[in-house]
Amino acid sequence: MDLGWDESVYLSQVDPRTPAAYFSAPRSRGISFLAAPVVALTASTTALRVTLVLLSSAALYGAFAVWRPLLGRGRTALAAALFAGLWITVLSGPEVMPNLWIALAAVAATGFFLRARARGGAGSRSTEGRTLAGLAATLAAAALLRAPDAVWLALPLLLTCATVRAWRRLRVVAAVLGGLAAGGAQWAVEAYVRFGGIARRLADSSDTEGGMGAHLGAGLTAARRSLNGPQLCRPCRIANPSVTHSLWWLLLPVLVAAACALALRKGRAGGGERKDTRAAVLLPVACALSLAAPYLLLLDYSAPRFLLPAYALLALPVADLAARAPAAFRAGPRRWAVAAALCAVLAAHLSVQLKELRVNTADARDTAVRYQRAAEGLRRLGLSAPCTVTGPRAQPIAYAAGCASAQTMGNNRSTTEAALARTARRMPMAVLYDPADAYLPPYARTWHPHELRGTGWIAYVP
């Protein structure tokens, strides 16, 4: 696939070949830093995709490997497979987007937190030190990737430290707060430099998101409708997905509730090992609910990637429940029948996810191809760096053409029409016009229109 809209924004911040696009308040720069070494070496999108596939695969393995001492190898592997089998997980692997990486950081951080509960970690001060360092590092990574999400992830961890005696340890609290501070420092400094402070940046973020507030029904409805795409549903007025392709999503709360009920029942039976198992089920559920809450309750639109951190964490208790189900029957034909039924359900689930992956990959590719065609059309019109592109979809098209982008309205407003009129007198410039939007700036109404073949858009140039 060629690059998408958000990818072009993140990459433009570190690409030495193109001007940086406007970076709005809700964004964080962690994913730009991750891609920076590749972008510095090559302009090849293929090289970038392959590198991110390898890195995200290694991160998937490493994040879930943290859970081996807590759930065992088999259940940990099953949890990783459940998460990796979702179409949005596979599609996000090679993309320059932060949500998958936040999900993996959340899985690792929660696992390190649970492993740090016992005094001395796994029995030695050096092991405890490595565990706490892992906790701080993964929380720092989450904060660098998306600072507000890292805070939502840390809230259940800090609440556990405050309310559960076994976790009431200064070193654990220091690791959580230290990781947040280290990863969030860049975001906080930028808040003061560019937006006038943290409170102002959060307010600007809310405005960009359409006003974050109590959207209880709208957020849940949008999440359900966008379960199988599109990758951004805003405004989300599409029909609900078919039951067969959304049944897993509807059953997920039931499975999680069953896993929690089973863990609580076993926890009441006593025993340190059973209490550890109870925590290994309940804490990821608490963190998943905390990370999902702002996207389900505070926004009136959705995107499948928003819930990736919640899906990753909920895969752990679901895998634990699935592994326990056959064991509830005595050894014999009944146990084998239950195991076979679970395998059949998993196979059906993966076949549905594969179909959705193909559909959404094709949609993403078609959109990116339109951006490339538009950029090629602008180059044929004589636009070359330094140049500026404005209008609908200016950011990804300008990046593909090697130009700067600018907007006078919308979420990425960064200049005025008067300033753009002055810019047109000193460098090549194009105004993108979408007939569906039906707005052309006054300064461009005497310019020459040129149809950008294969896109449905028109470029106006002086």
pLDDT per residue rounded down to tens, the chain (462 residues): 999 999 999 999 999 999 999 999 999 999 999 999 999 999 999 999 999 999 999 999 999 999 999 999 999 999 999 999 999 999 999 999 999 999 999 999 999 999 997 554 445 677 889 999 999 999 999 999 999 999 999 999 999 999 988 888 999 999 999 999 999 999 999 999 999 999 999 999 999 988 888 777 788 999 999 999 999 998 888 999 999 999 999 999 999 999 999 998 876 655 555 556 789 999 999 999 999 999 999 999 999 999 999 999 999 999 999 998 877 776 778 888 888 999 999 999 999 999 999 999 999 999 999 999 999 999 999 999 999 999 999 999 999 999 999 999 888 999 999 999 999 999 999 999 998 877 899 999 999 999 999 999 999 999
186 and 89 in a common domain: yes
Query: Is residue 210 located within the same domain as residue 324?
Result: yes
Answer for the pair 79, 284: CB distance below 8 angstroms, yes or no. no
In a domain, residue 127? The reply is yes
* Residue 151 sits in the same domain as residue 298: yes
CA distance 212 to 300: 8
Establish if 29 belongs to a structural domain.
Answer: no
Residue pair 142/105 in contact by the 8 Å Cβ criterion: yes
End-to-end CA distance of the chain, in Å?
A: 32
Q: Is 260 found in the same domain as 172?
A: yes
Establish if 22 belongs to a structural domain. no
| pLDDT for residue 121 | 43
Instruction: Judge if the upstream peptide bond of residue 386 is cis by omega within 30 degrees of 0.
Output: yes
Q: Which two tokens stand for residue 404?
A: 């700067």
Tokens 């040129």 belong to 450
What H or E segment, with its residue span, contains residue 153?
helix 147-163
Same domain, 275 and 423: no
Q: Please check whether residues 268 and 387 belong to one and the same domain.
A: no
Residues 304 and 58: their CA atoms lie apart, in Å, by 22
The verdict on 415 and 284 lying in the same domain is no
Helical packing angle, 308-327 and 333-380, nearest 10°: 160
Residue 35 covered by a domain: no
Helical residues (DSSP H) of 226-332, grouped into ranges: 243-268, 272-297, 308-327
CB 288 within 8 A of CB 260: no
Q: Specify if 17 maps to a domain.
A: no
Domain boundary among 299, 328, 357: 328
Our count of domains for the chain comes to 2
Do residues 146 and 260 both lie within one domain? yes
Q: Look at residue 213 and tell me if it is in a domain.
A: yes
- Chosen domain end from 308, 328, 348: 328
The verdict on 312 and 453 lying in the same domain is: no
Same domain, 235 and 315: yes
User: CB-hemisphere CA count at 13 Å for 285?
Assistant: 22
Provide the residue range defining the domain that includes 75.
44-328
Q: Is residue 165 part of a domain?
A: yes
- pLDDT for res 270: 53
378 and 324 both lie in a single domain: no
Q: Is residue 313 domain-shared with residue 372, that is, in the same domain? A: no
pTM for this entry: 0.95
Number of other residues whose CB lies within 10 A of the CB of residue 336? 12
Last residue of a domain, one of 280, 306, 328: 328
- Do the domain assignments include residue 349? no
